[in-house]
């Protein structure tokens, strides 16, 4: 059984109202009485009920992190967000929704219920029409490239990142460049597609269609792409992936079928994660961890708390072994 205020009062020989005044540092308590209560608290190893404390301050010093997935790309942002929040004195509650819209709304309801001081929305399940009503309940920041200025976002424009990858593929002699995409729910995919079609138009290349290469997220999806590549009379000579994990699967599966990377095909990833380092994969870097820190800084600023300024994020191509020399 947990120690209660009544136990403390009995042990110290005072009323529970007196114990309450000592714990809450409110109202008058004589020095001698205060000492007796504090000693009883120590002797009984008492921890005041935090929920009762929070009712008074109105702050939980706790940020929510919401994501549909818990993959390495999400984890890299979450990790740096947690570190930045910790420095600012905030704990974090992480909600993985697995794409469950009700579960996501329940997490947002905790902002309304003052259970959370702010929310970092990594990957969302609901439409913005559903989520935007929570803006009035507390600070929210998202990773999504959302075309509503009222929703704070630390997105980066994938248009620039994809253009960088496309230009590098072109400069290393590739002329049949295939792009594979993630979920089309956010604007990131739309911006990657626009970069692709613009680039193909500018170089007079015939673009591959985007439809069959949307939602490439799992090993099975990648196997499907590799099947498709093998069926082409004239195969693509480069594949640009929307994440390093998908690029890693592409390299792995192509090698298993006897293709040489980059001699037969170049592969370019995105995010500059651990896997791209150990697999020596060319990728696009933009400071994924800085993006997580920026998300935390945005929440702190919305709460008028002390915070560093947000770091501007820029793209950089990391040349490694899955592309030819330019």
Compute the residue count for the chain.
326
Among the residue ranges 110-118, 147-155, 189-197, 262-270, the one whose residues contact a copy of itself (CB under 8 A): 110-118
Q: Does 91 bind a copy of itself (CB under 8 A)?
A: yes
Residue 206: count of CB within 10 angstroms of its CB:
7
Which of 88, 94, 214, 318: binder of a copy of itself (CB under 8 A)? 94
The string of DSSP letters for 31-44 reads HHHHHHHHHHHHHT
Rounded Cα–Cα distance for residues 324 and 319 (Å): 9
Residues with Cβ within 8 Å of 91's Cβ and at least 6 positions away in sequence, in order, are: 61, 62, 63, 85
Among the residue ranges 20-28, 51-59, 154-162, 291-299, the one whose residues contact a copy of itself (CB under 8 A): 51-59
Q: Does 17 bind a copy of itself (CB under 8 A)?
A: no
Q: Does 218 bind a copy of itself (CB under 8 A)?
A: no
Among the residue ranges 152-160, 195-203, 244-252, 311-319, the one whose residues contact a copy of itself (CB under 8 A): 244-252
C-alpha distances in Å from residue 90, one per residue of 14, 73, 113? 35, 23, 18
The site that binds a copy of itself (CB under 8 A) totals a number of residues, namely: 50
CA-wise closest residue to 190 among 222, 224, 157: 157
The gap from C-alpha 294 to its chain's centroid, in whole angstroms, comes to: 11
Q: Which is nearer to a copy of itself, 95 or 199 (CB)?
A: 95
Contact indicator for 313, 290 with CB cutoff of 8 Å: yes
Q: Which is nearer to a copy of itself, 71 or 197 (CB)?
A: 71
Among the residue ranges 165-173, 194-202, 263-271, 272-280, the one whose residues contact a copy of itself (CB under 8 A): 272-280
**Which residues of this chain interact with a copy of itself, rule CB under 8 A?**
2, 45, 47-52, 54-55, 62, 70, 72, 75, 78-79, 82-83, 86, 91-96, 98, 103, 107, 109-110, 112-115, 133, 137, 219, 245, 248-249, 251-252, 255-256, 274-275, 277-280
């Amino acid at each position: 059984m947990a120690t209660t205020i009544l136990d403390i009062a009995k042990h110290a020989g005072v009323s529970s109202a007196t114990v309450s005044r000592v714990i809450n540092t409110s109202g008058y308590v004589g020095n001698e009485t205060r000492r007796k209560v504090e000693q009883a608290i120590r002797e009984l190893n008492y921890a005041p009920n935090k929920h009762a404390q929070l009712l008074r301050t109105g702050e939980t010093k706790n940020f929510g992190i919401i994501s549909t997935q818990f993959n390495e790309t999400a984890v890299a942002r979450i990790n740096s967000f947690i570190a930045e929040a910790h420095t600012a004195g905030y704990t974090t509650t992480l909600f993985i929704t697995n794409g469950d819209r009700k579960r996501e709304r329940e997490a947002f309801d905790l902002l309304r219920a003052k259970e959370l001081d702010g929310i970092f929305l990594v990957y969302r399940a609901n439409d913005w029409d559903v989520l935007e009503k929570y803006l009035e309940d507390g600070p929210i920041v998202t990773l999504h490239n959302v075309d509503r200025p009222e929703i704070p976002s630390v997105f980066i424009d994938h248009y620039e990142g994809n253009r960088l990858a496309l230009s590098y593929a072109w400069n290393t002699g590739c002329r049949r460049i295939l792009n594979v995409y993630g979920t089309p729910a956010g604007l990131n995919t739309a911006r990657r597609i626009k970069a692709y079609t613009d680039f193909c138009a500018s170089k007079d290349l015939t673009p591959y269609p985007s439809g069959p290469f949307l939602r490439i997220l799992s090993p099975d999806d990648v196997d499907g792409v590799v099947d498709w590549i093998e069926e082409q009379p004239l195969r693509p000579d480069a594949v640009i992936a929307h994440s390093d994990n998908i690029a890693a699967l592409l390299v792995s599966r192509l090698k298993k079928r006897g293709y040489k990377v980059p001699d037969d095909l170049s592969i370019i990833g995105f995010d500059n994660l651990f896997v791209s380092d150990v697999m020596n994969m060319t990728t696009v870097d933009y400071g994924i961890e800085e993006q997580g820190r920026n998300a935390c800084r945005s929440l702190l600023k919305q709460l008028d708390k002390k915070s560093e300024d947000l770091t501007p994020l820029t793209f950089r191509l990391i040349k490694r072994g899955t592309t030819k020399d330019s």
